[in-house]
Amino acid sequence: MRELLVDDVGEFGLIRRIMHDFIFRPDMIVVGPGDDGAVYRTPEGYDQVISTDTMVEGIHFTKDTMGPFDVGYHLGASNFSDMAAMGAEAVGFVLSIALPGSLPLSWVESFYDGLRACCREFRVNLLGGDVTGSPKGLILTGTVTGMVPKGKAVTRSGAQEGDIVFVTGTAGDSAAGLYALLQGMGDKWPSLVERHRRPKPQISLGILLREAGAHGLNDISDGLSREWNEIASSSGVEMEIDAEKVPLSSDVKALAEKVSVDPLVWALNGGEDYQLTGTISPSDFDTIKEEMSITPVGRVVKKPGKGVYLYHHGRKELLEARGFDNDRKGLK
């Protein structure tokens, strides 16, 4: 029996198949999916936050490196991570997808299963979206809404002289996982592959960092070199980073040694780790360092100032932003 394709069921038939079990905060819903627009309520005393991310087949993923469930989960995670970087809580999501008519229906259903799993894990309501055709390849755009106490959003522009520069968790795992997949070694490095396919947005850590008084914050979507340069540029500061302190997992180090790659390259230029990096005062850092996996990697040394400098092998070098550029480079 021939496998059903998107063209076989049409837009509305597809929507009926996939749009179910996506409301995880019913108390916030006034009008849910199915109307021309969704209506949701935000509690008193909160600002609303909004962000959007797109994944394009062949640039951000291929069917060789990610299954449909992974793509759905990853799309949700990348959007929700933007809320973490603002110290906000993700609450709502809308999705616009362009699909080739020849795409198997089973692929689309598995994609929505992955997105549903991510929404359930982080209690985010899928409020609706749009489905249309694509003459070539998949285009998946998510828009997330969030909330943060009024006037408390953390931005890239607040870094202060004397601040500690920090990184949560470890960096470079996703890039290492992608490397393993592209080299046909994915089965030997399952934890790194998992970090690439299904990264975890650090929403709870973003809230803790905001409450602790973090001055500047970014999620590691495009690699540490780019995230630090964005903070330095937006804040008008100069930062110094100790390369030896950048947190790397044991698996990243082991794979790097096996294939003769400097693991720091994956951390600085890889991206899609969706951990957090930012700046915070030394006293506030001391209050939270026991509450989370967080590593001090440098200092904000001058404001006004400009640029990020890396101390590596006894030398001080200007660190350029060479991370994953979603507009130009695509898959590395």
Query: Consecutive 10-residue runs of the chain (332 residues): their mean pLDDT?
Result: 68 65 85 84 95 93 94 97 98 94 91 95 92 89 97 97 98 97 96 97 98 98 97 98 98 98 96 97 96 96 95 93 56 35
The residue extents of the domains of the chain are 6-149, 156-318
d(CA 184, CA 186): 6
Query: Residue 17's pLDDT is what?
Result: 65
Q: Alpha carbon 74 to chain centroid distance?
A: 8
d(CA 76, CA 87): 17
Q: Do domains 6-149 and 156-318 have the same CATH topology?
A: no
Query: Residue 328's pLDDT is what?
Result: 36
Query: Residue 329's pLDDT is what?
Result: 39
Query: Residue 332's pLDDT is what?
Result: 33
Q: Which structure tokens are listed for 207?
A: 């809230």
Query: Residue 34's pLDDT is what?
Result: 76
d(CA 270, CA 171): 9
> What architecture (CATH level 2) is domain 6-149?
2-Layer Sandwich (3.30)
The top-level CATH class assigned to 156-318 is alpha beta
Sheet containing strand 139-149, edge to edge, reads: 46-56, 139-149, 89-99, 125-133
Query: Residue 32's pLDDT is what?
Result: 81
Q: Which structure tokens are listed for 262?
A: 């400097």
Dihedral sign for Cα 260, 263, 268, 270, please.
positive
Query: Residue 43's pLDDT is what?
Result: 92
